[in-house]
């Protein structure tokens, strides 16, 4: 079976660098986390990066920083991993799903139609690594609405827009930290607040200045003024991230090469890919039968994500979203990762040709 996903693994380098970590006192959040944050920021041009333990934690933290609460209206993507929107349920937000465009990204026209002075936040998703319509940020700014970019499926593209950018280093992403994420914010004040919130609300730097003691001269060294979370990254994950980060350009170039090969081999189908090339989408009116045929021939393929409004937790009712309703039965994804070869792509192309010849 040609697998749909496979982790990016650097076993020998991981073991070598981790052995150094195991000779220190830092297994939790230590100097490697800060090193990874700085290296990530330097690589992609960000000034304020905060390592966390998952992409979902980055989203939750962003929603907290915005102050989303009970009854607040949030415009958000309907077509995404449910991890984008589940934290909004915890915050009892009023979720208003947005339609998709022809690339399955948030539809600008629907944003323009639904955004108002009552909108608390706007959440967009770089689905498959594609960047969203830049006009969305312009209209959000006009209404004073903060924008959260769920960039869990995107890496290697610097985001010049958006107030909060949430990355994921989960197992099958471009590179992995085992699990982990990065929250990018735009100013120092929010950054300092976010640093406290990711560690229960405690100012770790103040505690460090106190020699990591809880009390100094009968005074607390770890006051908590705002309830936080246990969202921090650890030095083991950061070590894996530093190694993966070195190979980002190589990873992206290879994925692009695979996608270009797919584009040539599957010229008769509508295809969607680009940006950081995390997913390769195919659209077909015979999707379910085609998926079954491909799987029978050793090619794993799947839908990967479903529209969120059909889940019971979100109401289990399809919204009036014309493009989503029109396209939801046509899309699926083909294998795309570093273990795939050009020969694999050629085989997949030949299998498609056999399917077409049967019709």
DSSP state of 132: P
Q: What would the pLDDT profile of 282-333 be if each residue is shown by its tens digit?
A: 999 999 999 999 999 999 999 999 999 999 999 999 999 999 999 999 999 9
Instruction: Please list the residue range(s) of the chain that carry CATH number 3.40.640.10.
Output: 11-246
Q: Does domain 11-246 have CATH number 1.20.120.140?
A: no
- Give the model's pLDDT for residue 210: 67
- pLDDT lower than 50: segments of the chain: none
102's CB contacts (< 8 A; 6+ apart) are: 323
Please list the alpha-helical segments (H only) found in the chain. Answer: 11-21, 31-44, 55-66, 86-90, 108-114, 135-143, 188-197, 204-209, 235-246, 248-265, 287-296, 322-327, 342-358
Fold for 248-358, please state it.
3.90.1150
Q: What would the pLDDT profile of 179-191 be if each residue is shown by its tens digit?
A: 999 999 999 999 9
- Give the model's pLDDT for residue 359: 66
Q: What 3-state DSSP class applies to 152?
A: coil
- Alpha carbon of 105 to those of 60, 80, 111, 129: distances in Å? 21, 9, 11, 10
CA–CA separation, 351 and 357 (whole Å): 10
Instruction: Please list the residue range(s) of the chain that carry CATH number 3.90.1150.10.
Output: 248-358
> And the tokens for 111?
């944003």
């Amino acid at each position: 079976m040609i697998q749909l996903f496979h982790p990016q693994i650097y076993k020998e380098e991981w073991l070598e660098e981790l052995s150094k970590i195991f000779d220190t006192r830092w297994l939790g959040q230590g100097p490697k986390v800060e090193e990874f944050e700085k290296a990530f920021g330097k690589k992609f041009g960000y000034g304020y990066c905060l390592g966390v333990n998952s992409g979902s934690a980055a989203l939750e933290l962003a929603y907290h920083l915005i102050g989303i609460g009970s009854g607040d209206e949030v415009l958000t993507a309907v077509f995404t991993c449910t991890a984008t929107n589940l934290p909004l349920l915890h915050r009892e937000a009023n979720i208003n799903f947005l339609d998709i465009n022809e690339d399955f990204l948030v539809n600008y026209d629907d944003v323009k139609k639904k955004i108002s002075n009552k909108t608390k936040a706007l959440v967009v998703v770089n689905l498959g690594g594609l960047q969203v319509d830049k006009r969305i940020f312009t209209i959000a700014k006009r209404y004073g609405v903060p924008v959260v970019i769920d960039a869990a499926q995107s890496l290697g593209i610097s985001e010049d827009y958006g107030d909060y950018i949430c990355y994921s280093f989960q197992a099958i992403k471009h590179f992995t930290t085992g699990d982990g994420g990065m929250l990018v914010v735009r100013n120092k004040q929010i950054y300092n607040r976010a640093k406290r919130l990711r560690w229960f609300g405690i100012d770790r730097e103040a505690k460090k200045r106190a020699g990591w003691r809880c009390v100094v001269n009968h005074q607390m060294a770890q006051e908590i003024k705002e309830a936080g979370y246990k969202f921090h990254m650890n030095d083991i994950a950061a070590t894996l991230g530093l190694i993966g980060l070195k190979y980002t350009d190589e990873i992206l170039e290879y994925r692009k090469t695979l996608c270009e090969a797919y584009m040539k081999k599957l010229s008769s189908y509508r295809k969607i890919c680009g940006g950081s090339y995390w997913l390769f989408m195919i659209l077909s009116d015979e999707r379910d039968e085609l998926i079954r045929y491909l799987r029978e021939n050793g090619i794993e393929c799947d839908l990967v994500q479903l529209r969120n409004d059909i889940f019971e937790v979100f109401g289990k009712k399809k919204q009036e979203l014309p493009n989503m309703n029109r396209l939801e039965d046509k899309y699926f994804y083909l294998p795309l990762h570093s273990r795939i070869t050009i020969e694999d792509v050629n085989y997949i192309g030949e299998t498609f040709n056999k399917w077409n010849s049967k019709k």
